[in-house]
Amino acid sequence: MCWSNSAAALPAYAQQTGQPCSQCHVGAFGPQLKPYGREFKLFGYVNGDKLNTLPSIAVVALISFTHTSSPQTSAPASHFADNDNVALDQLNLLYGGKLFGGAGTFAELTYDGVRRTFTIDNVDIKRAVYLDLGERHAVVGLDLNDSPTVQDLWNSTPTWGFPYNSSALAPTPAARAAIDGDLAQRVVGVGAYTMWNDLLYAEATAYQPIENRVASRLGVDVPTGSDAYNGVIPYWRVALQHQFTGNYLEAGAYGLLASRFPSGVVSDGTDRIADVALDATYQYTAGARNFLSAHATWIHENEQLNASRAPTGSQPSDHLDTLRGDLSYSFNSTWTPSAQLFRTTGSRDAVFFGAPNGANSQGYLIELAYVPFGKVGSPVLWANARFTAQWVGYTEFNGLRKGASANNTLYLSSRFAVAPLGAFVHR
């Protein structure tokens, strides 16, 4: 699987720091971070040049066209056709920067143009402190967020992983792990993290599920009969990083444990979900005009289906494995071609995964992105845009190889971001 929450660059951060978007982001548009961008996030979104005292607010609009190789059997959403759809995917109001008491945040309110609803989207609030330990040093912090991995520094984990835009009107595989976006905006978590000596990152966070009815009222897409999570969900993260002679490497692991009521039915008890994942990042950082990035993640999920087994006839246990890796090259922070391979394999359990022929799906994605602004020499720091052409190809879809290519998708998108108050900042 290759889908993640759509992510937005924040020209409000450029407004706050006095730096162009390319200082933090690969290709001069988020969310893919360079080392400077990871440091900015690690320290809690509060770095700035103190020349701007206006609120760091941004408005982002995403407009798209989606074409599938064959028309879908029914319209993918109300008010849309079975193929060749033009949409206002999202309209976001974002705040990024300082709050109070040294804390900072990334927070967004989103109008979903496909579902035609408003929702509180990704929220991440951090408070970090730098500790000088003589020959060593550390950063320690507290974090409050609403989606596992939204707080992460690397683009190898689900929330900010590639692709950074994807169609909400295209067919997608049925099976995905809980940590791979299923909990987004359905939980609230508080945790602590540390980066020791620019080498070792560690984090532990406890999430509390939001009731399905409450999540729906907040605009989260929780269809009737959805699974409901129960009790505290512990999340953990460790990573090692090293930068040397123009190269950057990261390798890490992350995971969570969760209990959930199948279809929200409490009387049948809970299923137990355990996710364990590995990830890695490589970046070539030495070139002034050339930047190479690669990311990979493998997610393994075990499901103990004590509750699902009796009413639905599913197997007593299942597993799911997701593997994906991407490679991108950014030239002059303007042109960024990217490619990804993805594969999901799992138990052949049609009841649990909702796919009669099994959970297996695999394919590839190729994309070309063009960003005209957001770099040194751009006329303004408070506006940016990204234009992408993306092709998703399937060799297997929900357990079927024959006919998988009917789900191939061409996705053209234009994303515009502006910090309106930045227009009034004189530098």
Asked whether 417 and 108 are in contact (CB, 8 A), the reply is: no
Lowest mean pLDDT among 57-66, 275-284, 378-387, 394-403: 378-387
The pair of structure tokens assigned to 53 is 């005292």
**Phi and psi dihedrals of 424, rounded to 5?**
-100, 5
51: CB partners within 8 A, 6+ apart: 18, 425, 427
Q: Report the alpha-carbon distance of residue 197 to residue 220 in Å, rounded.
A: 39
Q: Does the pLDDT at position 364 exceed 90? A: yes
Question: 396 falls in which pLDDT band (50, 70, 90)?
Answer: very high
Q: Does the pLDDT at position 80 exceed 50? A: yes
Q: Does the pLDDT at position 118 exceed 70? A: yes
Q: Does the pLDDT at position 101 exceed 60? A: yes
Token match 């209990």: residue? 259
What pLDDT, on the 0 to 100 scale, is given for residue 4?
Answer: 39
What pLDDT, on the 0 to 100 scale, is given for residue 351?
Answer: 74
Asked whether 127 and 141 are in contact (CB, 8 A), the reply is: yes
What pLDDT, on the 0 to 100 scale, is given for residue 330?
Answer: 94
What pLDDT, on the 0 to 100 scale, is given for residue 316?
Answer: 86
Nearest C-alpha neighbor of 104 from the set 49, 45, 190: 45
- Residue 13 gets the label, from left (phi > 0), alpha (psi -120 to 50) or beta, of alpha
What pLDDT, on the 0 to 100 scale, is given for residue 314?
Answer: 74
Q: Does the pLDDT at position 17 exceed 70? A: no
| Of 2 and 149, the one with more pLDDT | 149
Q: Report the alpha-carbon distance of residue 30 to residue 146 in Å, rounded.
A: 20
Neighbouring C-beta atoms of residue 313, cutoff 10 Å: 11
- Compute the C-alpha angle 342/348/351, nearest 5°: 110
Structural domains present in the chain: 11-424 (2.40.160.10)
Lowest mean pLDDT among 154-168, 177-191, 211-225, 393-407: 211-225
What pLDDT, on the 0 to 100 scale, is given for residue 52?
Answer: 56
C-alpha gyration radius of the chain: 21
What pLDDT, on the 0 to 100 scale, is given for residue 381?
Answer: 63
| Of 426 and 194, the one with more pLDDT | 194
Question: 22 falls in which pLDDT band (50, 70, 90)?
Answer: confident
The CA-atom distances, in angstroms, between 78 and each of 34, 66, 87, 192, 222 are 39, 15, 12, 42, 16
* pLDDT per residue as tens digits for the range 267-306: 888 999 999 999 999 999 888 789 999 999 999 999 998 8
Looking at every residue in the chain, the average pLDDT score rounds to 89
* pLDDT per residue as tens digits for the range 133-172: 989 999 999 999 999 999 999 999 999 999 999 999 999 9
Question: 8 falls in which pLDDT band (50, 70, 90)?
Answer: very low
Q: Report the alpha-carbon distance of residue 114 to residue 219 in Å, rounded.
A: 13
What pLDDT, on the 0 to 100 scale, is given for residue 423?
Answer: 45
What pLDDT, on the 0 to 100 scale, is given for residue 422?
Answer: 54
Q: Does the pLDDT at position 421 exceed 70? A: no
* pLDDT per residue as tens digits for the range 196-233: 999 999 999 999 999 998 999 888 988 888 889 999 99
Asked whether 366 and 356 are in contact (CB, 8 A), the reply is: no
What pLDDT, on the 0 to 100 scale, is given for residue 282?
Answer: 98
Q: Report the alpha-carbon distance of residue 184 to residue 191 in Å, rounded.
A: 16
Of the segments 15-24, 29-38, 397-406, which one has the largest average pLDDT value?
397-406
> What is the pTM for the complete model shown?
0.91
Residue 16: half-sphere exposure toward Cβ, Cα within 13 Å: 22
- Compute the C-alpha angle 276/304/346, nearest 5°: 60
Question: 190 falls in which pLDDT band (50, 70, 90)?
Answer: very high
Question: 182 falls in which pLDDT band (50, 70, 90)?
Answer: very high
What pLDDT, on the 0 to 100 scale, is given for residue 357?
Answer: 84
Q: Tell me whether strands 233-244 and 271-284 are parallel, antiparallel or unpaired.
A: unpaired
What pLDDT, on the 0 to 100 scale, is given for residue 27?
Answer: 83
The pair of structure tokens assigned to 173 is 């595989």
What pLDDT, on the 0 to 100 scale, is given for residue 223?
Answer: 84
Q: Does the pLDDT at position 15 exceed 60? A: no
Task: Check whether the bond before 356 is cis (ω within 30° of 0).
Answer: no
Task: Check whether the bond before 31 is cis (ω within 30° of 0).
Answer: yes
Average pLDDT over residues 327-333: 94
Q: Does the pLDDT at position 337 exceed 90? A: yes
What pLDDT, on the 0 to 100 scale, is given for residue 349?
Answer: 80
